[in-house]
Structure 1
Amino acid sequence: MCLEDLIELAGGVSNIYRVLLPEHHVSLAVRNPDVIQDLPAGVVLEEVLGEWHLTDLSDETVNEEALFRLGRAIEAQQRTQLIDLAQPVACHYRPSWHIAPPRGLLNDPNGFIFHDGQYHLFYQWSPVGCAHTDKYWVHTLSDDLLNWHWGDVALTPSDWFDSHGVYSGHAVSLDKELMVFYTGNVRLGEERFRQTMQCAAISRAGEPLHKIGPVIRELPPGVTEHTRDPKIIYRNGKWMMFLGTQTTAMQGRLAVYHSTDLRHWQFDNLYGHELGDFGYMWECPDIFNLNGQDCFVFAPQGIQSESELNTVPHQNRIAQVSFNAQDEISISKLQVLDYGFDFYAPQSMETPDGRRVMCGWMGLPDELKHPTCRSGWIHQLTALRELEFVGGKIVQHPLRELAALRGELHDICLENDAVDLNTKTFELLAELEWGSRLRLFEDEQYYIEIYLDPIKHRLLLDRTHTQIEEGDTVREVELSSGSVALQILADNSSLEIFINHGEAVMTTRVFTPESATRLSVKDATANLQVYELQAPVTPYRS
């Protein structure tokens, strides 16, 4: 049966919300199965995990151009449904200067790049509910890395190659063309078998992204369908694609491809064997050069933390990489990027003046119970941070442009005392002695505490006394300094703590009542500088 006849049998395009291609048979997910009558031979209608699928089991050749046209019709329906969902819900936990979803679930930052005179930053979005459902890409744009504007939904899960989600990926700037690469996620049958393809889309002269479709359809040898999150670089006259993957032996690895035209790709090899059994999956690879050193950022899953206080399987790491003459790579000297509770799947880009700027997801894959869910949204992106390679290690600082948000400066001296800031949006600078306790977002019942443990010379970040509903409550980082310098960025329900001028960073969501705006110092005297932070433009549909 040709696709046009199958669509008519399904009750028309308006009754179709998903298209699949299991074993080269076209399958249409329909809203109302009752309109389907008198099934011809070779066509079946069956319920699959709560969805009704109309499937043509004949051996007729699939017309991908016709499937692509159907995808555009499904996309048009999806965009109509998103209009109301793009309006932000009111919530006192909503950040004033971080990127957050209007509603629904936000996760990985994607396609972070400077292109054609503007900064582009996409993020994954599940618009309905606080759960990881079908993923979209939202497009935000900025001229200054401070004020971000809604650029609409860039990609929707409308096609047979991405019907269950437009997963993570990166972008490439080609003069006036912006090309993005992403993983198309498809789940098939009662077993939800994962069908994974690496896909591309292109924007010409500022027009909306237009899907090209799959550029890699088959998995490399020796890996599972958990192969995703393409990163593209240009090196030695060719394009290279890096994919996070999982081997059939359940070990995380890096799959590398090369291409001369960005559309036809050849598999090179799997890398990372020198790390041994370092997690069961590597996600979200990023490769870049930093002050002459090539670096590899990734999100290993299933490794044991260096701290017994961290029980989460989802970690973050940055490593040094070396390329040989054949562009084969070796990985060494791993370092934790962020010691806090909520930092995952980071992406970076290079600014026109040569800085490496990074953005992460302030959340974790299994973290789905936040107080914000009662308002219909969850998670946000981190503040932008700058990376440097100094003395063989990564050093991180807040984006220097953030200083433009500073308002009035308050010099505060506290000795076992408290002060009400009357805001949760501020920047705090301090140098504390060992044994000090600094409490933020505090009232009579709730607070988050930074404790400088003088016995073990570690900084403890304790959110036990907050409204957190799941997850670990204490994080730690060992330090060797005589005192501890802190630069803290606060934004209503988040803290980003830069320690000893970027030696370490801790990122966390913090939920306390709206009126919990006190700051206190225990067991110490501290001189604090506090700047109120002004709200920039935030990217919501106007």
Structure 2
Amino acid sequence: MDFKDMKINEEKAVLENKERVAKDFWRQKYHVQGIVGLINDPNGFTQFKGKYHMFYQWNPLGVDHKNKTWGHSVSDDLLHWERCETALRPDTWYSKNGVYSGSGIVIDGELYLFYTGNVKDDEGNRESYQCLAVSEDGEHFERWEPSIVNQPDGYTRDIRDPKIWEKDGKYYAVLGIQSEKLEGKVVLYSSENIKDWKFKGEIAGANHGKLKDFGFMWECPDYFQLKDEKTGEIVDLLVVSPQGLEPEGDLYQNKYQTGYFFGKLDYAKPEFEITSDFVEIDRGHDFYAPQSMEDDKGRRLIVGWMGVPEEEDFPMTKNGWIHSLTLPRELKVIDGKLYQLPIKEMETIRGEKIEFSSKVKGTEKVGTGTTYELNAKFKNITGNVGLKLRVGKESETILKLDYADKKFVLDRTKGEQVDKSLRKVALDNVNELELTVFVDNSSIEVFINGGKEVFSSKILPKFGADGIEVFADNETDVEIVKWEWK
């Protein structure tokens, strides 16, 4: 394709397909998604000139991972998003085979976007370049390509996904990279002026320090600090999306994973000194490549791609679209554990309210709905309990506490998705359970016990499947509040 015609082809694809896409039964109501085509990683998540800006990998021309641009949407409240002109297209030499993932930072009233330019030669060999675009208004961008140019020795050209931050008047970037031994790593760069960058060194990765074999590539690294809400300690977190982990029991069940390490970043050494195990951020089927930012309320917010690479076998592709981003969440550390909390803004879209309070044994229908928020509390538990959502003929999504195994289970075996596997996580207390659940037309996000664990998964119920049921093997105290979304 001649990328000089990219904009024309994009506009044509949108015009031809947007009505068909908009009418699709599974289109989301409150999630960022492409107007047509495929989206994946969130990029450049920032707050600039009073608005939240969300960029994202977008292929407007199809439902495969080609023709990557940076789509762009803005919001006042993180829930109602307005689509903007495409921010970056692969119409320069350094991005001619795709504008890949990166991040954003605001400096002196200007928005800087760092991204990976993908370049392939005639034999299909890939090279990656770290590039920069600058905007005064958040809509029009001047490309500065390339920016981070000093490829370190001992690594392949799989280097990508720059995440930028400022500390003590200097700028730093972490990038995912692959060693010549095909090991996933994270490296650190620094800059005095945001334009010129120096390679500092490798700070973490497979077979680095105390960590052993841990994947062939680490994508989308993110570094930030949080204050422990209980101890007051400032803790460092390194979030990565490693590829190549083998399943271990209930862990690492997706094609590729996303999780975090606690530790301490030593800028001088440099080294991210890991002090914890790798913990998956999300236990569901569809979560990858998240990006975080701190907003003007002092919140550390995170959004992930509600999908996983190399898993595009979903029926909505027949109608010309696939994937969305997760709902934004707030991150907190409480007593050495990372929690994810629904953002306060979710309360603003609450509509009609239905309440249910009873002792339950067996199964009871408590209402209907297709897009809603639901809070369920189970007390005095002595057996299996849970919810069945989007219930209909050959459709249901089950959220269950397996009392004997002391595990929470997400079961989406009945639905149109091809993957029928379960997702599970062990719980430390099975006598009580609280679930906060957000159900959209083709997704479910479950926050367990105040956000201590989270499951995000696509669900593809059949038409008319809108039942809500509660069940308990033994008599259990149950309280449910459900709000239909406006």
The residue that corresponds to 1:318 in the other structure is 260
- Aligned ranges 1:280-319 → 2 under 5 Å: 280-291=216-227, 292-308=234-250, 310-319=252-261
- Aligned ranges 1:273-422 → 2 under 5 Å: 273-274=208-209, 275-291=211-227, 292-308=234-250, 310-324=252-266, 326=268, 328-329=270-271, 330-333=273-276, 334-413=278-357, 415-419=361-365, 421-422=367-368
CA–CA distance in 2 between the matches of 1:325 and 1:83?
Answer: 46
Equivalent of 1:173 in 83, 106, 128: 106
SS in 2 for 1:114: strand
Q: Which moved more, 1:201-210 or 1:395-404?
A: 201-210
Deviations 1:455-487 (A, max 9, x none): 110011111111112x35200000011221100
Deviations 1:289-341 (A, max 9, x none): 11121211110111134434754341011112313361622233132210111
CA–CA distance in 1 between the matches of 2:16 and 2:284?
Answer: 31
- Tell me, yes or no, if structure 1 residue 474 matches structure 2 residue 416: no
- CA separation of 1:406/1:207 partners in 2, compared to 1, >3 Å: closer, same or farther? closer
- CA separation of 1:281/1:205 partners in 2, compared to 1, >3 Å: closer, same or farther? same
Equivalent of 2:481 in 512, 529, 536: 529
The residue that corresponds to 2:195 in the other structure is 263
C-alpha contact 1:420 1:517 (8 A) present in aligned 2: no
CA–CA distance in 2 between the matches of 1:140 and 1:156?
Answer: 15
C-alpha contact 2:395 2:414 (8 A) present in aligned 1: yes
The residue that corresponds to 2:230 in the other structure is none
Q: Which moved more, 1:357-366 or 1:477-486?
A: 477-486
- CA separation of 1:205/1:379 partners in 2, compared to 1, >3 Å: closer, same or farther? closer
Equivalent of 1:445 in 371, 388, 394: 394
CA–CA distance in 2 between the matches of 1:489 and 1:204?
Answer: 36
- Tell me, yes or no, if structure 1 residue 95 matches structure 2 residue 44: no
- Which AA in structure 2 matches 1:428? L
- CA separation of 1:108/1:207 partners in 2, compared to 1, >3 Å: closer, same or farther? closer
The residue that corresponds to 2:231 in the other structure is none
C-alpha contact 2:150 2:198 (8 A) present in aligned 1: no
Equivalent of 1:194 in 121, 126, 145: 126
CA–CA distance in 2 between the matches of 1:324 and 1:108?
Answer: 28
Structure showing greater Rg: 1
CA–CA distance in 2 between the matches of 1:116 and 1:521?
Answer: 45
CA–CA distance in 2 between the matches of 1:472 and 1:332?
Answer: 35
Q: Which moved more, 1:426-435 or 1:508-517?
A: 426-435
- CA separation of 1:85/1:392 partners in 2, compared to 1, >3 Å: closer, same or farther? farther
Identity of aligned residues (%): 36
CA–CA distance in 2 between the matches of 1:150 and 1:352?
Answer: 22
- CA separation of 1:271/1:310 partners in 2, compared to 1, >3 Å: closer, same or farther? closer
Q: How far 1:437 sits from its partner (Å)? A: 3.5
Q: Which moved more, 1:223-232 or 1:435-444?
A: 435-444
The residue that corresponds to 1:423 in the other structure is 369
- Which AA in structure 2 matches 1:258? S
- CA separation of 1:415/1:425 partners in 2, compared to 1, >3 Å: closer, same or farther? farther
CA–CA distance in 2 between the matches of 1:182 and 1:82?
Answer: 24
Would you tell me which structure has more strand in proportion to its own residues? 2
Deviations 1:59-114 (A, max 9, x none): xxxxxxxxxxxxxx555545554552683522110011111111111100000011
Aligned positions, number? 463
- Tell me, yes or no, if structure 1 residue 17 matches structure 2 residue 2: yes
The residue that corresponds to 2:466 in the other structure is 517
Equivalent of 1:492 in 433, 441, 451: 441
CA–CA distance in 2 between the matches of 1:530 and 1:132?
Answer: 37
- Which AA in structure 1 matches 2:306? M
- Tell me, yes or no, if structure 1 residue 224 matches structure 2 residue 224: no
Instruction: Extract unaligned runs of 5+ from structure 1.
Output: 1-15, 19-72, 535-542
- CA separation of 1:299/1:157 partners in 2, compared to 1, >3 Å: closer, same or farther? same
SS in 2 for 1:155: coil
C-alpha contact 1:85 1:102 (8 A) present in aligned 2: no
CA–CA distance in 1 between the matches of 2:117 and 2:131?
Answer: 6
SS in 2 for 1:523: strand
RMSD between aligned residues: 1.9
C-alpha contact 1:230 1:244 (8 A) present in aligned 2: yes
SS in 1 for 2:28: coil
Deviations 1:10-53 (A, max 9, x none): xxxxxx714xxxxxxxxxxxxxxxxxxxxxxxxxxxxxxxxxxx
CA–CA distance in 2 between the matches of 1:83 and 1:374?
Answer: 15
